[in-house]
Structure 1
Amino acid sequence: MELTDRVAVVTGAGGGIGRALVTALAGAGARVVATDVGVPDAPIAALARPLDVTDADATAALVAEVEREIGPVDVFLANAGVAAGTDPVDTPDDVWDTVLDVNVRAHIAAAKVLLPGWLERGEGYFVATASAAGLLTQIGSAPYAVSKHAAVAFAEWLSVTYGARGVRVSTLAPMGVATAMLDTGADEGGMSAAATGAVRAAGEVLSPEAVADAVVAGIAREEFLILPHPEVLTFFRRKADDYERWLAGMRRLQDSVTRSAE
């Protein structure tokens, strides 16, 4: 998709990848709407609005406002995300609910609002920020791993179901990115120590700007998998080629990270 004059909505635009996406999309000529729980500081955006992505009515209201003020949404980047919790035994139900609401159900709510218009016009673009954890797994956080797998699965379903009717879909699946999620602890909405250790051990930690540039390039090529860390594809292929061997290797990584965190 050519982004010039396209209307693009970015959730989770208050920092990290989201803020970098606003800048990169605007640089590519899009008219960008920046959203976050608090009004994001995004002077380059055409609109900056508060949005709780877990509130389906608020998402519908935002899309309606954008249509009135700027025009129909062409690209929706479901970027807001949280990392919290550890294993299923120690993670409270309310934490599971929060992670699933932000990382998965918010994508579903946005799609429900956007799909009727996209199908009527015969085009639209949905970009889901998942993670390499959505293709592989996440050491240390069951809610994060499960929710990101679900985000990838929902994006796949959208592409399979509506791709022939003009709806394009991409899934962003990076490894380590230098954001607050990586640097803060699980109690503050970031990754656990084990998860952070695993991410840093897996490969290079990229800047949000590098990831945003990869997204813009991926949209231009209309790629389903946007992989700022190309080695993720190698790991994904190894998983598919020999699942048992891959699981054994991940267990070794789990043991190594656990020992280093002690």
Structure 2
Amino acid sequence: MRPRPLAGLVIAVTGGARGIGRETAAHLARAGARVAIGDRDAEGARATAAELSGEVTGFGLDVTDTASFVTFLADAERRLGPIDVLVNNAGVMWVGGFADEPESATARQLEVNLHGVIRGVKLTAPGMLARGRGHIVTIASAASKLSPPGESTYAATKHGVYGYLSGVRAELRGSGVRLSVIMPGVVDTELAAGTATGAARLLSPADVARAVVAVIERPRFEVTIPRYIGPSTRWLNVLPQPIRDALYRAMVPDQVRSTAGGSARQAYESRNLTGTDTPGAER
């Protein structure tokens, strides 16, 4: 299959002010796409858009608010044209023992990571269906398949994203609208500050951005980074439970242990999850 050219495509990226979203927007713009980035930090989104080369425009966007999402999409379409691709990237993560997780952090992860994706799909897919084409790419996590200690709620949201997209994909079969879910391991962003990588290497935002470009060029549903995570999880799941548990302990990081007593996550979590600091970008 020939790669689909990105030149001229209108692509919207949520959580685009920094981290994975910023790097994804940069890669897409360099490939010739017309990019709209939305972020809870509206000034940050506009500043990022001004700094990147190519055609990039920044807007305010709160993925937990339907009116905000509708406005973002409408403004992006007025400026750039109908949206060909939505990249659901915005996400938040609280790390620690399940019993210590503040209720506000639990609610925030569910609303941003899961409901934000559902909202994005429901708001963009109808227009794509009417045109008979479109692509929704969601940045999930290897936690869609695994559940590291210390990330129980985060993993639950990512399992939910995978399940939701699987069902919607079945409904959209034959419509011309494609879905993709990208599941990276630990990425070197503020969201993952202070966490461990386990057996896998630490990824860069550029690793994820390249995967987004590649999956738009050649659509497929599941993408894991590193690639071996997908086959490994399928293979592990056929093993007896005691052997599976031992291998998971060897491969998957214990994030309760890795973050115990540290302060590396304090600023991020207070800003994005517990409401004790100035709001900022999510991923």
Q: Residue 165 of structure 2 aligns to which amino acid in structure 1?
A: A
Find 2:99's aligned residue among 86, 89, 113: 89
How has the CA–CA distance of structure 1 residues 121 and 132 changed in structure 2, closer, same or farther, with 3 Å as cutoff? same
Match of 1:201 among 190, 198, 202: 198
Post-superposition Cα deviations, 1:159-190, rounded to whole Å, max 9, x if no partner, equal: 1111311111111101121111122xxxxxxx
Structure 1's unaligned 5+ residue stretches are 184-192
Which residue of structure 2 aligns with residue 190 of structure 1? Answer: none
In 2, Cα distance between the equivalents of 1:173 and 1:119?
Answer: 25
**Do 1:85 and 1:95's aligned partners in 2 also have CA atoms closer than 8 Å?**
no
3-state DSSP of counterpart to 2:36: strand
Among candidates 230, 239, 247, match of residue 249 of structure 1: 247
Q: Which residue of 1 aligns with 2:277?
A: none
Structure 1 counterpart of 2:159, which letter? H
Q: Taking structure 1 as the reference length, what is the TM-score of the superposition?
A: 0.87
Aligned runs of 1:1-262 on 2, under 5 Å? 1-39=4-42, 40=45, 41-43=48-50, 44=52, 45-183=55-193, 196-197=195-196, 200-242=197-239, 244=241, 245-251=243-249
**Any idea what the Cα deviations from partners look like across 1:16-54, whole Å, max 9, x if unmatched?**
111110011111111000111112222234310111111
Letter in 1 for 2:146: L
3-state DSSP class of the match of 1:48? strand
TM-score w.r.t. the length of structure 2 is: 0.81
Give the match's secondary structure for 2:149: coil
Give the superposition deviation at 1:260: 6.8
Farther off after superposition, 241-250 or 64-73: 241-250
Q: Please give the secondary structure, in 1, of the residue aligned with 2:5.
A: coil
Distance across 2 between alignment mates of 1:170 and 1:205: 22
User: Among the aligned pairs, what percent are the same residue?
Assistant: 34
Q: Is the 8 A contact 2:97 2:150 kept in 1?
A: yes
User: How well do the aligned residues superpose, as a CA RMSD in angstroms?
Assistant: 2.1
Distance 1:238 1:55, change over 3 A: same
Q: Verify the 8 A CA contact 2:113 2:158 in the aligned structure 1.
A: yes
Contact 1:85 1:96 in 2 (8 A): no
* 2-structure distance, mates of 1:16, 1:49: 16
Deviation at 1:140, TM superposition (A): 1.2
Deviates more, 1:168-177 or 1:235-244: 235-244
Structure 2 residues without counterparts, runs of 5 or longer: 261-283
The separation in 2 between residues aligned to 1:247 and 1:255, in whole angstroms, is: 13
User: 2:208 and 2:152 mapped to 1: Cα distance?
Assistant: 24
Q: In 2 relative to 1, CA 113–248 (structure 1 residues): closer, same or farther, beyond 3 Å? A: same
| CA displacement at 1:223 relative to structure 2 | 1.5
Deviation of residue 101 (structure 1)?
Answer: 0.6
CA contact (8 A) 2:149 2:256 kept: no
Q: Relative to total residues, which structure has the larger helix share, 1 or 2?
A: 1
